[in-house]
Amino acid sequence: MARRLLIGALLFCACASAGAATVRLHATLAARNVVSASDSPATGEARGTLDDDNHLRLTLVYGGATSTVTGVALHVGTPDSAGPVAVPLDVHRDGSGGSLSDARIDLTDSVAASMRAGSTYLEVDTVDHPLGEIRGQLTPQPASLADLPPATSSSPGTSAVTSTYTNATTAPPSTPASTTPPP
């Protein structure tokens, strides 16, 4: 009986974690991304992950602001619109730059859904640019192959791999990929 409970518990945990889908995010902050574009030389970059419980882990670094930074915030909005502040960020500021390192931010369901849809952005406001000196859209990134579990099979056989070459400026490789059956 205890063995059945243990197996059931393990299966439940495996199924629960199989549905987990952490979203990776990236943003490049620049003056050209601000809706009322500024001419600032400031730049920045942010990377983050959003889990199924709406916990955002965010790392941000920016520099080159032309005046005193007055605020850094996460906004809801598409790339061509200015949206409301969703979460003001407590960023370490150092002169014309600042950083946030692996901060954990709890998001509402609505803000998390907007983030998964690519409709959130980070903005750095300054004295000279109160509506944004630099901005970067937090874009969901595709899952990498390293995030996927290995494909396994207990059946012997062969497999074929098909590759599509999409770079039109360079000729495709002349040697096709080959596969051999496992020993």
Q: Into how many domains does the chain fold?
A: 1
pLDDT top residue among 77 and 8: 77
Classify residue 78: in a domain, yes or no.
yes
Give the pLDDT score at 67.
94
> Mean pLDDT throughout 81-98?
94
Classify residue 8: in a domain, yes or no.
no
The structure tokens 């996927």 sit at 148
CATH number of residue 99's parent domain: 2.60.40
Classify residue 107: in a domain, yes or no.
yes
Distance between CA 82 and CA 65 in Å, rounded? 20
Over the stretch 130-176, which tens digit does the pLDDT of each residue have? 999 999 999 999 876 655 566 665 666 565 555 454 544 444 454 44
Over the stretch 90-128, which tens digit does the pLDDT of each residue have? 999 988 899 999 999 999 999 999 999 999 999 999 999
What residues make up the domain containing 87? 28-142
Classify residue 19: in a domain, yes or no.
no
Over the stretch 54-76, which tens digit does the pLDDT of each residue have? 999 999 999 999 999 999 999 99
Count of other CB atoms within 10 angstroms of residue 114: 22
| 105 beta partners | 56
Classify residue 132: in a domain, yes or no.
yes
Q: What is the CA radius of gyration of the chain?
A: 23
Give the pLDDT score at 52.
96
